Structure 1
Amino acid sequence: MRFKLAGRKRAEGADVDPRRWSERAEARLRSLTYRQKIAALVLAAMVLYGGFIALDGLGVRSWLDSSFGETPDLKYYQERTKVILNGGMLYRDLDIESPPLINYFLVPAQLLGGEWWSYEIYLSLFPLLTGLVIYTVMRRWDDYYAFLVALIYIANPYLLPDATWGIQDEPIVAFIYILPILLFLHGYRRTAGAVTAAGFWTKFLPIVLYPVLLIKLDSVKEKLINIGVAVATSLLIAAPFLLAAPMEFLHFPSYYLLEREGSAGLSVISLLSKGGLHIDGLIGAGLTVAVLLLSYYLIHRWKLDIWRGAMLTTVMFLCTYPMAHLNYFVMLFVFFLVWAVRDKWLIVRLALMYVLLLFSEGFSLNSVPGMATEWNWLIALPMMLANIVLMADTTRICLKTKCFLDREPQGERDKKGEGAPESA
């Protein structure tokens, strides 16, 4: 009789309670050991990125090439890494407009075979590597939420297609962008300064966060030491290129300083340029610098912690930088995640943000099938403006809401005898 009643309750859906399912899933994830969580992250990356690479080999690659043209950057990666492997010097033996280190980062992919699949496999390692660092650093505050942040980052829709089908170097850029903040959180503040300097010579973008690091340092002495470390790192990296080809090497920053009208980026300025309102590149660069300075002032004025400060600077930078692209926004995605893992509505916001950005870029590049017209910028512009409003409002929510990083690290709680935090 008891078994019949139990069966009847299950048939009536008494046990199908979404809250209970989520509680069971959380309990199961919380019960995993550190090594099991690391294994789970590696397995997730292998399944997701390996699946995309396999699909590429089974036919997606030929369809993409016939529909949208061959992946534009692959031939540049191959050309530059071949120069390096043959003992040549970039800028002297090959004129390029990118910073030097990103090309050296790509050398292992060329050594693996230099084909599309070797680059896809290699680039797919960086979302996994970033996720592993995120989990390792953040687990001091909460092991479970740190694991969720890492898992969602690995599966994020910005990098999954870019590392595989798109063969873009943004997974490396995102890694080098977030790494200094994670090192700072972990207590390696001088190393964070050195990595930020190396990041500048990799893809420029990490340098916008360096003033945030300096603001959060405790003393003038520590700030000066950190600046010294960053300068020494920069000199070590730049010296060989300055000696071999000084003029050619110093020309690459002009790409980021926008010495031209308009831009090819995903921004309001770029979209207005497509509509005929041409804005000088220096104006766009000046606006970006002014907004960055404002963000640094607000960080100091509001006494924001390192995570919120980096998030605010990233938001304000991406809202104004004329050369931004869809995949740059993954750098903001990771900052929002520490709140989103505890709030499903923030996850919905992040999903909507991605959709708006995806279609904004699609329309701005006239790459939406069957809708290639000269007026597509009029469709992309309101989408981009809506995304800016959404980013700003999400930032407002995050600035005033506590996240798991606001707790004391586990070691400090253990000293006080508080034990593990309760689930939030």
Structure 2
Amino acid sequence: MLNISSHKGKMISLIIISSLVLSILISADRAYFDNAVNTDPSTDHTDNRLYIERAETIIHGKLLYRDVDTQTPPLINYLLVPPVYFGASPLAFEIYFSIFTVLTVLAVFHFLSRIDEKKAFLSAIAFLFIPTTLVVPTFARQDEAIVVFFFVLPLLLAVENKNRYVYTFLSSVGVWIKMHPYSSYLPCF
């Protein structure tokens, strides 16, 4: 039986809650919203066509920036390969982006639980239920869930262990994903 008063139990609870909530939204999108909104592929509200084009360039061994027109940093394009490899369907993107939302929820709880476990759990739940947290990976199918994970993780690590080398490394990785959110980073040491 699951002991939700333990750290592990709360982590499992967060996985279940996050997965359930995101699965409901993905199901609603697949069953109704996407068909009602995206009636014409030329007016698709997502960036999936761009993601597919960039990821297929990588999969086929071609070069970014030379063989495909893109202005994005390189790492985000490589992180878009898995959903394209697994079919490039709207469902593949929604599940993949939702995984990063779940990872962010878990990271918020895990790293903040050393300060106060109850508040960390509530913070993780609060993060999950921010409307943009729910809409971006599901209805919008945007890569911002990946960006948020790589934006929040270095900050949480900096709070947790004050290791400026880990913070600096992960912040640098984040710049290779998307530069614009890192302009707001302030040194944490």
Question: Normalized against structure 2, the TM-score is what?
Answer: 0.91
Q: Pairwise mapping of residues 182-331 of structure 1 onto structure 2 (< 5 A)?
A: 182-187=156-161, 188-210=163-185, 212-213=186-187, 216-217=188-189
Structure 2 residue matching 1:158: 3-state secondary structure: helix
Query: How many positions carry a matched residue from both structures?
Result: 185
Q: How far has the Cα of 1:128 moved from its partner?
A: 0.8
Q: Pairwise mapping of residues 16-415 of structure 1 onto structure 2 (< 5 A)?
A: 32-66=5-39, 69-187=43-161, 188-210=163-185, 212-213=186-187, 216-217=188-189
Q: How far has the Cα of 1:206 moved from its partner?
A: 4.0
Please provide the CA RMSD for this pair.
Answer: 1.9
Q: How far has the Cα of 1:209 moved from its partner?
A: 4.2
Give, in whole Å, the separation in 1 of the partners of 2:125 and 2:155: 19
Q: Is the 8 A contact 1:127 1:153 kept in 2?
A: no
The verdict on how the C-alpha distance between 1:102 and 1:31 changes in structure 2, with shifts beyond 3 A counting, is closer
Give, in whole Å, the separation in 2 of the partners of 1:205 and 1:135: 26
Structure 2 residue matching 1:186: 3-state secondary structure: helix
Query: After superposition, what is the alpha-carbon deviation per residue over 1:267-314, rounded to whole angstroms, capped at 9, x for unaligned?
Result: xxxxxxxxxxxxxxxxxxxxxxxxxxxxxxxxxxxxxxxxxxxxxxxx
The verdict on how the C-alpha distance between 1:144 and 1:60 changes in structure 2, with shifts beyond 3 A counting, is same
Give, in whole Å, the separation in 2 of the partners of 1:173 and 1:164: 15
Q: How far has the Cα of 1:207 moved from its partner?
A: 2.7
Give, in whole Å, the separation in 2 of the partners of 1:90 and 1:111: 17
Q: How far has the Cα of 1:139 moved from its partner?
A: 0.6
- Worse-matched range after superposition: 77-86 or 149-158: 149-158
Structure 1 residue matching 2:64: 3-state secondary structure: coil
Q: Is the 8 A contact 1:130 1:175 kept in 2?
A: yes
Q: Is the 8 A contact 1:196 1:206 kept in 2?
A: no
Q: Is the 8 A contact 1:100 1:201 kept in 2?
A: yes
The verdict on how the C-alpha distance between 1:37 and 1:201 changes in structure 2, with shifts beyond 3 A counting, is same
Compare CA radii of gyration and give the structure with the larger one: 1
Q: How far has the Cα of 1:31 moved from its partner?
A: 6.3
Query: After superposition, what is the alpha-carbon deviation per residue over 1:195-214, rounded to whole angstroms, capped at 9, x for unaligned?
Result: 1112112111343244x22x
Give, in whole Å, the separation in 1 of the partners of 2:4 and 2:148: 30
Give, in whole Å, the separation in 1 of the partners of 2:62 and 2:68: 8
Give, in whole Å, the separation in 2 of the partners of 1:206 and 1:167: 19
Give, in whole Å, the separation in 1 of the partners of 2:136 and 2:37: 13
Please list every run of 5 or more consecutive structure 1 residues that lacks an aligned counterpart in the other structure: 1-29, 218-424
Q: Is the 8 A contact 2:98 2:145 kept in 1?
A: yes
Question: Normalized against structure 1, the TM-score is what?
Answer: 0.42
